[in-house]
A and B are shown apart, each in its own frame.
Chain A
Amino acid sequence: MVPVDYYIILSAVLFTIGALGVLIRRNPLIIFMSIELMLNAANLAFVAFSRMYDSFNGQIFVFFVIAVAAAEVAVGLALIVEIFKTKKNINIDEMNSLKG
């Protein structure tokens, strides 16, 4: 059996890639994908720990995360489509009408 540590290291790597992606990429859709990667890294950790403790709590949490992430996608994509309709462009760097 693959030790739990390996899963946790993998999930930490995925989480870091996701977080870096959010900070570096300039397209909201890619940023959004990076956020999903962060959530899935957490899901992986949950499932691995759930296996380690032989309890269901972690797996239940994963279902909640998946369901909520879907709801978030619905709202997020709608917002991005909406701003695209107004601006014809979704680059984050050009979202600069608000400053002080």
Chain B
Amino acid sequence: MTQTDFYTILPLTVLAVWACLLLLADLFIPKDRKGITAFLSALGLAVTLGLTITQVGRENLGFNNMVVVDGFSTFINIILLASSLFGVALAYGYIKRMGLERGEYYTLMLFSVTGMMLMAQAADLIIVFLALELLSIPLYVLAAFARPNLQSEEAGVKYFLLGAFSTGFVVYGTALIYGATGTTSLGGIFFAASNGTPGLLLTIGAALLLVGFGFKVAAVPFHMWTPDVYQGSPTAVTAFMSSGAKIAGFAALLRVFASAFPSISVDITAVIWVLAALTMIVGNITAISQTNIKRMLAYSSIAHAGYILMAFVPYGNKEVMPVSVAAGLFYLVSYAVTNFGAWAVVISLEKAEGKGLEISDFAGLAKKYPALAIAMTVFMLSFIGFPPTLGLVGKFYLFRAVIAGGYTGLALIGVVTSLVSAYYYLRVVINMYMREGDPTIEREQWLDFTTVTTAVATVALSFVPQWLFFMASTAALRLF
């Protein structure tokens, strides 16, 4: 291991070691003071974030082309670490209140984040597989963290079974790709696939990988687990996994397809087109009939996966691809910020034993807690893509990129489904402002902090989107 190798994975090594030490340190922290564990895990994430920021502008491969650090991975890692800091902030009060306060919560989160970061840095399918498992296995446990609550256990089992099923597809897909090209390194696959005719084996392998990752990012028709798992898991876990796992899944999908499979883009593009369209349509339409806010947000996260998938459709087109990937990355950021905010509001209203999670429980919120209602309105408008929010800018960039790629039909589906989505997002707003009710909320400093920060960011960043888009473009260019 040379020094360069070491520096390539320095942030995630620090995080993994920190997680192991935290697991030990947690033993000596008394049961009623687990806030210390939360603080230490946040400190670890912050240190890692600092180290990741020092890697900005750095570009090199390490460990015999196994892992890579480049603009893309650094960008994704920064979003992931920032999201997980929000994840800790949300969990801090929530797990205490719900009587789940056990130190391993934070350790599992740190391990999962390590997997997500490794996913963004993977330059070989072996590492993609390893990272996928490292991010998923702690999430299975976290989903069932509220045991012996039946719903949480059920969520854990369902997530585990379908997650393991999707892993099977990833592994078999990798096996076929290896068979077609004789290598598992992304660069090697690209090289082997572009010299000589791409065989059927390679296409099937890539399609199986797409199925596996489709499960992870919850694309239709591989989305069945999402509503159940998101509803059953403790809400703080749902917030974390709906952002983190999605960002990591898309990062791997982008990297693998853009850097290894441009030669079979003709076949794959059609498949992704259908997946994106189905995901947007099914996600948005099914969300309409939901009465539980967690389930509604689950379907909304499926729908947003569809929007992000649109960024992949022109992936074989060398001219449009960088812009389109940048738009996808921008949308991921806007989704992550809005998503954490919305879940923070949900957590404020949630009571023990899953009470306070119906959309009708939001009735009267505006009269009693106007600030919280305004924040929730901002998040809902951002999900719809209404000005002045980050969601609008994200959708604008995305649709522009897709139209530039020549897929006007898909952009049209995106616009129409966004209009449909206004119906169920605005229902929450209408409940808050126009219905009578007497909601009670839990106030807790870190929860308020998350709500305020994300609400301000959602609005403020929409006025200066250029610099964020510029950074996303710089990150995207490094992929090719």
Contacts and interface: CB of A to CB of B under 8 A. Distances in A.
Interface in A12-67: 15, 18-19, 22, 28, 31-32, 35, 38-39, 41-43, 45-46, 48-49, 52-53, 55, 57-58, 60-61, 64-65
Given A42-B172, A71-B137, A49 B161 contact: no
A72 B232 CA distance: 21
Contacts of B130: 64, 68
A17 to B, nearest CB: 12
A79 B183 contact: no
A86 B148 contact: yes
Contacts of A58: 175, 178, 184
Contacts of A57: 126, 178, 183-184
A95 interface: yes
Nearest to B165: A22
Interface of A is mostly: helix
Nearest to B124: A57
B285 interface: no
B141 A75 contact: yes
Contact of B184 (A35, A61, A65): A61
Nearest to A73: B164
B121 to A, nearest CB: 17
B157 interface: yes
Interface of B is mostly: helix
A86 B292 CA distance: 24
A75 B160 contact: yes
Contacts of B466: none
Contacts of B161: 22, 28, 31-32, 35, 76, 92
A82 B144 contact: yes
Contacts of A53: 182
A58 B126 CA distance: 9
A79 B170 CA distance: 23
A74 B154 CA distance: 17
Contact of A80 (B148, B151, B157, B169): B157
Contacts of A10: none
A76 B168 contact: no
Given A32-B164, A75-B140, A79-B144, A65 B154 contact: no
B385 interface: no
| Residue among A15, A18, A28, A92 with max Cβ neighbours from chain B (10 Å) | A15
A50 B184 CA distance: 11
B5 interface: no
B174 A61 contact: yes
Contacts of A52: 179
A85 B149 CA distance: 11
A100 B292 contact: yes
Contacts of A60: 126
Nearest to B294: A100
10 contacts: A35-B168, A38-B171, A39-B168, A42-B171, A49-B178, A68-B133, A75-B137, A76-B164, A83-B150, A95-B154
Interface of A: 8, 11, 15, 18-19, 22, 28, 31-32, 35, 38-39, 41-43, 45-46, 48-49, 52-53, 55, 57-58, 60-61, 64-65, 68, 71-72, 75-76, 79-80, 82-83, 85-87, 92, 95, 97-100
